[in-house]
């Protein structure tokens, strides 16, 4: 038995979260019956599943690396009929979609797969999968500019920052930078550099985690190797372990990195009393006497004798 959302994700319908949305909306049927139970389990070999009355068949997961040229869209549908990255895979029978989009003016590595679960983990910023870019910017960014990218730049949706930035080489009046991000907001690098007064002239993604573009020609595709898939899954599992540890520490405020749990601090009443020195007689509590107005005017404060 397998959870319905996992089955749909493996069939290339989308991420598990997206599949949960479809189920909750009543768009999924099992053996002709509409279902809305997010925890439902099915037998892939014995049950017939459909989405919007279209049969769902489990597909063999496929993984492709594509070198997207400038002018191609990362979406699977475009009403204007512009070229799409998926058009570069006419020989692939499975319904694949892109992992991490590149805008029309950008080029470089795209991963395309029908494995919705892995795609979700690679795209979600929570998992921090690094994406590496080579960026040609107008002008000569200073060391202070690069530090600002690392510290964070404020955009409309909040503060965004690069994981690493390195100056590569000059090209005329422009400069090549190597930028690594762990997020994927729309046109993030272009907007970050625009905030610093440097227009992006060219942008090429050269790696997603351990998968590298290398010498793959523009407009061509290759299968992601088994070794690369193992590395990708290891990246995801490492990120999931870190997230689980953070959640454990957040749930237990007394947890420590060394022992796992710190001894709670004893309440004040349970702490051993310290011996107290008796107060001098002149500071003993006693009845207060209000000085007369005449005494208040004539009284002066004695100054201690000088040490010299």
Residue at token pair 């702490």: 271
- Give the integer Cα–Cα distance in Å for 275 and 84: 80
Across 8-17, 93-102, 142-151, 285-294, least confident range: 285-294
For the stretch 213-220, contacts whose Cβ atoms lie closer than 8 Å and that sit 24 or more positions apart, written own/partner, are 213/65, 213/67, 213/108, 213/109, 216/65, 216/67, 216/109, 217/67, 218/67, 218/69, 218/107, 219/67, 219/69, 219/88, 220/66, 220/67, 220/88
In whole angstroms, how far apart are CA 158 and each of 23, 132, 188, 280? 32, 21, 11, 61
Q: Which of 96, 53, 134, 59 is nearest to 224 (CA)?
A: 96
pLDDT at 51 over 70: yes
Q: Where are the domains of the chain?
A: 2-56, 60-129+209-225, 130-208
**pLDDT tens string 183-215:** 877 889 999 999 999 999 999 999 999 999 999
Note whether 2-56 and 130-208 share their fold: no
**pLDDT tens string 114-130:** 887 888 888 888 888 89
* Domain at 130-208: CATH architecture: 2-Layer Sandwich (3.30)
**pLDDT tens string 263-298:** 444 443 434 444 455 555 554 555 555 655 555 454
The contacts of residue 186 (CB under 8 Å, 6+ apart) are: 103
Contact 101/133 with Cβ under 8 angstroms? no
Across 73-82, 164-173, 199-208, least confident range: 73-82
pLDDT at 64: 95
In whole angstroms, how far apart are CA 72 and each of 104, 137, 171, 270, 284? 5, 21, 26, 70, 87
Q: Bigger pLDDT: 266 or 113?
A: 113
Q: Annotated catalytic residue: which of 103, 145, 151, 231?
A: 103
* Assigned fold of 2-56: 3.10.290
80 catalytic? Reply is no
With the CA atoms of 188, 103, 177 and 217 taken in that order, what torsion angle do they form, in degrees rounded to the nearest 10?
150
| Whether CATH 3.30.230.70 fits 60-129+209-225 | no
- Give the integer Cα–Cα distance in Å for 26 and 47: 17
**Percent of the chain predicted with pLDDT > 90:** 49
């Amino acid at each position: 038995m397998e959870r319905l959302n996992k089955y749909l994700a493996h069939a290339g319908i989308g991420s598990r979260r997206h599949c949960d949305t479809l189920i909750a909306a009543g768009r999924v049927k099992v053996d002709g019956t509409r279902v809305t139970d997010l925890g439902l389990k099915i037998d892939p070999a014995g049950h017939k599943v459909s989405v919007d009355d279209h049969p769902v068949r489990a597909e063999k997961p496929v993984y492709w690396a594509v070198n997207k040229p400038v002018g191609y869209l990362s979406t699977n549908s475009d009403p204007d009929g512009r070229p799409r990255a998926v058009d570069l895979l006419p020989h692939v029978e499975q319904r694949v979609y892109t992992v991490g989009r590149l805008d029309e003016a950008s080029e470089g590595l795209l991963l395309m797969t029908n494995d919705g679960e892995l795609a979700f983990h690679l795209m979600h910023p929570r998992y921090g999968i690094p994406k590496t870019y080579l960026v040609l910017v107008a002008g000569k960014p200073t060391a202070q500019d690069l530090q600002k990218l690392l510290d964070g730049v404020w955009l409309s949706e909040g503060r965004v920052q690069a994981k690493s930035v390195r100056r590569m080489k000059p090209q005329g009046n422009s400069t090549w930078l190597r930028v690594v991000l762990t997020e994927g907001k729309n046109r993030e690098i272009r907007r970050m550099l625009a905030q610093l007064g440097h227009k992006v002239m060219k942008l090429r993604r050269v790696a997603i985690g351990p998968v590298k573009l290398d010498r793959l020609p523009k407009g061509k595709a290759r299968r992601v190797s088994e070794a690369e898939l193992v590395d990708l899954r290891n990246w995801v599992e490492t990120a999931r372990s870190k997230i689980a540890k953070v959640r454990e520490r957040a749930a237990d405020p007394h947890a420590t990195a060394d022992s796992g749990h710190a001894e709670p601090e004893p309440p004040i009443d349970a702490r051993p009393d310290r011996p107290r020195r008796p107060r001098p007689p002149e500071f003993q509590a006693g009845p207060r006497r209000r000085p007369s107005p005449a005494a208040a005017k004539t009284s002066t404060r004695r100054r201690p004798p000088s040490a010299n």
